[in-house]
A and B are shown apart, each in its own frame.
Chain A
Amino acid sequence: MLKSLRSQLTTLWTILSHTFTRAETVQYPEQKPYLAPRYRGRIVLTRDPDGDERCVACNLCAVACPVDCIALQQDVREDGRWYPEFFRINFSRCILCGMCEEACPTNAIQLTPDFEMCEYDRNNMVYEKEHLLIDGPGKYPDYNFYRVSGLAISGKDKGEAQRELPPIDVKSLLP
C-alpha cells in the first residue's frame, strides 16, 4: 500500500517537474530542425565535373533497391557514353534507405537532406530524370567515371584513362 502510494507520488512529481523544462517539440515548418549534410532524403542524379550526366545506366541502383522503386532504360549516346533513356523513381514507394547511393559505381545517385515531399496526388511522387537531375556534382566534386574507366568516349580515347598505357600497336614486332 505504502509502496504504491510512493510510486504514485513519484509519478506526479516527475510529470510536474517536466512542466518547467524546455519543450522538445519544434514549430515545424516555421522552425526547421538541424539535418546533417549526409541525411538521407530526396534522391538526386548528379553531373560530373565536366557537366555531363554521371549516370551510366548500369542498373545497380535498381537492383539494390529493396522496394524496387527505381526503373530505368540504358542507351548509348552518339559520343559513346552510356546514359539512361529514362530514369524513374517512385518516391511513394521509396524508403530513403540509401542502398542505391551505396551501389552506384559512378557517384551519380545521391541522397540529399531534403525530405519534404508531400503531394495530394500520389502520381506526383513519381520523379522522372528531368526532376531528378541536378546541375552540380553533389557530395563528390571531383569524381568523373569516364576518366577512370577504360571505355573510350569522344574526347577520351583508349589509353587516356587513369593509369593506362597508349593503345598497343598489334603489328609492331618490338617487345
Chain B
Amino acid sequence: MATIRIDQQEYTVRDGDNLLQTCLSLGLDLPYFCWHPAMGSIGACRQCAVLQYQNEEDQRGRLVMGCMTPVSDGAIFSLQGDKAQRFRKTIVESLMLNHPHDCPVCAEGGECHLQDMTVMTGHRDRSYRGRKNTHRNQYLGPLIHHEMNRCITCYRCTRYYRDYAGGTDLAAMAAHDHIYFGRHEDGVLESEFAGNLVEVCPTGVFTDRQLVHQYTRKWDLQSAPSVCTACAVGCNIVVGERYGKVKRVHNRFNAEVNGYFLCDRGRFGAGFVNLESRLEFPALRRPDGRYDALDHHRALEHALRAMEAEKVAAVGSPRASVEANHLLRLLVGNARFYPGWSRGEQGAAIRAMELLRDTEATVPDLAQIETADAVLILGEDVTNTSPRVALSLRQAVRNRARDMAGELRLLPWQDAAIRNLAQDTRNPLHIAAVSNTRLDDVAASHTCLAPPDIARLGAAVLEELLPGEGQHFGDPTVDALAQQIARDLRQAKRPLIIAGAGYGNTTIMEMAAELAAALCHGGCEAMLSLCQGEANSMGLALLTGTGGARVHRLEDMIVQGDIDTLLVLENDVERRCSRRGFKLLRKHVKTLITLDSLDTATTSLSDLVLPTASFAESEGTLVNHAGRAQRYFPAFPPANERRPAWFWLLALAHERGIEATSRLHQFDEITRHCAASIPALAGITEAAPRSQFRAHGLRVPRQTHRYSGRTAMRAALSVHEPKQPQDEETPLAFSMEGSQRDTPGALLPYFWSPGWNSNQSLHRYQKAVGEPLRGGTAGSRLLYRQGHATLERAAMPGAFEPRENQWYLVPRHAIFGSDELSALSPPLRELTHPAWLEITPAAAQALQVIDGDGLIIENERLRGYRLEVRINPSLVAGCAAYSAGHAGTFGLLPGEWVTLQKDPDWQRREPAVIASDRGGVA
C-alpha cells in the first residue's frame, strides 16, 4: 500500500497501480479515452493529464499522464490544478476538431464516452475555424456499423481487435491526420469477437448495425440482468427492451465469467425473441392439420385430458431452465422423463458432468482459464463451440509476457512495453483437432488427428507424464509431440486441459480428465475444462444424474406404442433423433403436447402447443459448463398468452394433483424445492437473491431514472394508462422507481453513474477498477474441488484406421449456425452457411467433386442425406466433417462410417447476396 496525496487529500492506495486506475477506484473523475481496464495503458490520447509535484516545496508541478504514472508512496498529485484542467480541456477540443455534428443521428448518443468526457472537461465551443476532415465508411458486415468521421484516434479498436482478440483484418491505416481505422477493403469483420468494438469504441465509430434500425437510446431501454443462452459458457448479459422488442444485448461484467467481453453469437444472437414465428397463443390441432387458437384455461383443460391417458412421458431440454426441467420430471415421474438430448449428446453430457464432479483438478471459470500457463486442447474447436473460452485462451498464452515483464519489474498495465518485450513469446498452447482451428495462430503446436487418435495422443502424453506400460502412439512425430506437450505441462504451474463434447467422443474427455489428475499428482494446480453443448447441458446432467433414462429407450417405447401422450419441453425433437424416429413420433404417439417459444418442426406436428416465454421474458436458472448456476430475469413481461415454461408446468402439476408441487406457487419455491430434492443442485438457490430481496426497502428498477414516454407509449391503444406490470417472481420492478444502490451483482440491470452515461460507468460498480462487482459476483459454483484422487489408467484406445471408400463422420461446429436459437437471429442468419460436408482434397478427387457440388451420404441407417461439399485441406484423411446443428444434418451421428457419392441432381447454390451488394446505406 502507498499513501499519496491528491488535491491536498491523503489516500491509501494499492502500490503499483497507475494513477488513472487509482483515481477511478477512489471515485474521482478523471477523463480518459485510450486506457481500458482489460487492455492496460499506452498513453496515446493524452486526456488523463494531471499535475505531479516533486515535493512539498514544489508549487509549479509538471504535467504527467495519469495512465502512465505509477503511484508510489508519498507522491503528490493534483487533478484540479489549473494547468491540468486547461490541458485536458484543450486535448478534448483538439480530439473533437473533426468530429461531425451528428450526435442526434448517432447510435452512441446518450451512452457516449466522448460526450461524457467532453462534459467532464468543460469544453463547449470549438475555436478552430478550419474545415473538418471527412472519411468514407466501410461495410463491415451485418453486425457492425462503421462511421469513421466520429473517430478520435484513441487506438482502442485496433488494440482490442488485434492485440486482445487476435484479429488481423482491422488496422490503423494512412498517416498523420489522414489516419483511418478499418479493413483494407469492404467486407465482413473476421473476428468472432468483433461485436465488442461497439462497447470498446469510446465514440460512435463502431455501433451495433442491428440497433441503427429501430434504434432506442440507452435511457429508454427497460433492461434486466440475464445469462446468454447461445452456448454453455453462460456469459452474463444485459438484455434491453423497448416496445415489446429486444433491442440489444450488452455485456454484464462478471469478474469470474465473461469480464468485459462477449462473443458475437451471444451479442447478436438474441434476435430470435423478436421473430414473427414466435408463438403467441395456445394452439389446438384440428383434424385437417390447421390450428385453432385457445385461451390458456382451455389449453390447460385439453392438456389435462390428454394427460389422463395411461402412458404419459415427457422430453426435457438442455436449453430450458433447471426449474422447468425439474417440474416436468415431477409431472411425469422420474422413470418417464427423458432429458431430451440426442443419443450422442446424452452420453457426452453425462460423462462430462461425472468427470468434472469427480476430478481432483480445478474446474476453471473463464477468469481462471486466463491464468493458465500451459494449455492442451484435446479435440475441441473451442472458438466454435464455446467461443468466449477462445478469447480467454488468447489471454492465457500472453501470461508468459507478463512473467517476463515481472522479471524486469515492468508493471502489468504497461501494455506497449510488455508487447514490445515479449514479441511472439507465448505460453505453450497445444491443439489436437480434426482440422485447423481459429486458435492456430497462437498455438505452439497444432496436430490434425481423427477423434480416436486424439484420445490416443492424450494417452501418449499421459504415458510421458506417468511412465507405465509403454503406451506410445506409434507415429514418431506424434510421439515426439506428446513428449513436448508433456514437458510443457509438467513445467507449468497452472496447466489447463480442455476437451469437450464437440466430437461426441467420451474417451477424449476421459483422457483429458486423467491427464489433469496426473498433473495434480505431480503437485501443480492443474485445471480441467470440458466444453458442453448447450446453455443448460450441465444443469440437466446434474438434474438427471448418472441413472437418468436413456434417449434410445424413448425411441423404442414410441415404436412399441408404449406412449400415449408425450410432453415436449422447449425442444425440437427433429434435431435430436433420426429421421425415421421423428416420423414414428407422429405415427405412434396419440397426443403430442409441445411447450416452446418458437415454431419448430416439433410444434408443427403437435396436437397441442403451449407458447412459452423466451429467456428475455422469463426467469430461470442455468448451469454453465464449469458448474456455475446463474439466474436470468425477464426484461419485459411476456405478451399475449405466452407464459414461462415453469408456469405452464406448475399449473398442470397443480391440476394433476402432484403431491410434491402442491405447496409450490412461486418461482423461488420451485428453485428451493429443486435444490432440496437434488443434492447436486443444492447451490442453485444462491445463484441470485430471492424475490423478497429489497435494497434499502426498494426493488431494483429495470428502467433508468430518465425512461421516457411512459404516458404516450400505449396512448395509441387507450389514453388511460394501465398500472405498471407487477413482478411477483423477482426482486426487480418494471418501473423506474427503486434503488440501484448496493444492488447485488446478480441483479444489476444496467450500468450508469452520474456523469458516466456510457458503459465505462462500470468502474463505479466495482470494488476497484477491474475487480469484482461491489454487490458480489453473480452465480454460485456447484462443482468446486469436490473431487478426490482417482488415478485409473485406461487402456490405450484403438487407433483410427481409414477405410476404403468409407468416411468417418465428425461433427464440425460453426459459431453462427450450430446453436439452434441464435442461428435464427436475423443478423446471424446472414452469416450462417447452409449445411455442408467437409472432405479432404484427395477424397474430392476420388469422388470427382469440387467445392459447392452435392454429395449423397448413406449407410445402412442413413438414407437420403444430401449435403454441399466443402474441401478442407487440413482435414484428417478418412474423415468427413458435417456441419453440426444445421438443418440437413440432423440425425447424423459422430463416429459413423458412411459412403459418399456424387449427387447428380445437385443444384449449385448461387453466391449469397450480402447487404453491401444490395447497395445498402453504409
Listed in ascending order, the chain A residues whose CB lies under 8 Å from chain B are: 56-60, 62-63, 65, 67-76, 78-80, 82, 85-86, 88-90, 92-93, 105-106, 122-123, 125-126, 128, 145, 148-152, 154, 158-159, 161-168, 170-172, 175
Chain A residues closer than 8 Å to B100, beta-carbon distance: 149-151, 161, 164
Residue in A56, A128, A145, A168 whose beta carbon sits within 8 Å of that of B174 in the complex: A168
Q: Knowing A149-B101, A158-B135 touch, does A58 contact B715 (C-beta < 8 A)?
A: no
A-B contact pairs, 13 of them (CB 8 A): A68-B707, A68-B712, A69-B711, A90-B719, A126-B716, A150-B102, A150-B150, A164-B100, A167-B134, A168-B135, A168-B174, A170-B178, A172-B178
Residue in A56, A65, A73, A88 whose beta carbon sits within 8 Å of that of B105 in the complex: A56
Which listed segment binds A: B214-222, B357-365, B607-615, B861-869? B214-222
Residue of B nearest to A59 (CB): B217
B219 near A63 with CB under 8 A, answer yes
Which B192-230 residues have a C-beta within 8 angstroms of A? 212-217, 219-220
Bound complex: CA of A131 vs CA of B719, how far in Å?
16
Chain B residues closer than 8 Å to A78, beta-carbon distance: 921
| Total number of residue pairs linking A and B with CB closer than 8 Å | 147
Min CB gap B515→A, angstroms: 50
Chain B residues closer than 8 Å to A76, beta-carbon distance: 212-213, 921
Which B799-858 residues have a C-beta within 8 angstroms of A? none
A165 near B708 with CB under 8 A, answer no
| Residue B173 CB within 8 A of the other chain | yes
Chain A residues closer than 8 Å to B110, beta-carbon distance: 59, 63
> What is the interface of chain A mostly: helix, strand, loop, or mixed?
loop
B719 near A74 with CB under 8 A, answer no
Min CB gap B591→A, angstroms: 42
Chain B residues closer than 8 Å to A62, beta-carbon distance: 220, 708-709
Min CB gap A160→B, angstroms: 9
| Residue B311 CB within 8 A of the other chain | no
Min CB gap B736→A, angstroms: 10
| Residue B180 CB within 8 A of the other chain | yes
| Residue B580 CB within 8 A of the other chain | no
A68 near B212 with CB under 8 A, answer no
Chain A residues closer than 8 Å to B716, beta-carbon distance: 86, 88, 126, 128
Chain B residues closer than 8 Å to A88, beta-carbon distance: 712-713, 715-716
Chain B residues closer than 8 Å to A161, beta-carbon distance: 100-101
Chain B residues closer than 8 Å to A73, beta-carbon distance: 214, 216, 243
Residue in B109, B132, B720 whose beta carbon sits within 8 Å of that of A163 in the complex: B132
Residue in B215, B219, B708, B711 whose beta carbon sits within 8 Å of that of A90 in the complex: B711
Bound complex: CA of A126 vs CA of B711, how far in Å?
10
Residue in B101, B105, B709, B718 whose beta carbon sits within 8 Å of that of A123 in the complex: B718
- Per-residue CB contact flags for chain B residues 298-328 toward chain A (1 = under 8 Å, else 0) read 0000000000000000000000000000000
Chain B residues closer than 8 Å to A165, beta-carbon distance: 131-134
Bound complex: CA of A166 vs CA of B921, how far in Å?
19
Chain A residues closer than 8 Å to B297, beta-carbon distance: none
A58 near B109 with CB under 8 A, answer yes
Chain B residues closer than 8 Å to A74, beta-carbon distance: 214-216
Residue of B nearest to A78 (CB): B921
Chain A residues closer than 8 Å to B709, beta-carbon distance: 62, 65, 68-72
Q: Knowing A74-B216, A158-B149 touch, does A105 contact B104 (C-beta < 8 A)?
A: yes
> What is the interface of chain B mostly: helix, strand, loop, or mixed?
loop
- Chain B interface size, under 10 / 10 to 19 / 20 to 34 / 35 or more: 35 or more
Residue of A nearest to B104 (CB): A58
A164 near B105 with CB under 8 A, answer no
Residue of A nearest to B129 (CB): A163
| Residue B176 CB within 8 A of the other chain | yes
Q: Knowing A63-B706, A170-B173 touch, does A126 contact B102 (C-beta < 8 A)?
A: no
B134 near A166 with CB under 8 A, answer yes
A59 near B712 with CB under 8 A, answer no
| Residue B710 CB within 8 A of the other chain | yes
Min CB gap A122→B, angstroms: 5
Min CB gap B302→A, angstroms: 38
Chain A residues closer than 8 Å to B220, beta-carbon distance: 59, 62-63
A159 near B134 with CB under 8 A, answer yes
Residue of A nearest to B214 (CB): A75
B105 near A71 with CB under 8 A, answer no
Q: Knowing A75-B213, A164-B131 touch, does A67 contact B101 (C-beta < 8 A)?
A: no
B708 near A70 with CB under 8 A, answer yes
Bound complex: CA of A93 vs CA of B219, how far in Å?
21
Bound complex: CA of A82 vs CA of B131, how far in Å?
25
Min CB gap A87→B, angstroms: 10
Residue in A59, A63, A90 whose beta carbon sits within 8 Å of that of B715 in the complex: A90
Chain B residues closer than 8 Å to A172, beta-carbon distance: 174, 178
Bound complex: CA of A171 vs CA of B134, how far in Å?
14
Residue of B nearest to A153 (CB): B921
Chain B residues closer than 8 Å to A71, beta-carbon distance: 708-709, 712-713, 715
Q: 5 closest Cβ contacts across the A-B interface?
A: A150-B100, A71-B709, A58-B104, A71-B712, A62-B708
Min CB gap A107→B, angstroms: 11
Bound complex: CA of A27 vs CA of B130, how far in Å?
58
B921 near A168 with CB under 8 A, answer no
Q: Knowing A123-B719, A126-B716, A170-B178 touch, does A164 contact B132 (C-beta < 8 A)?
A: yes
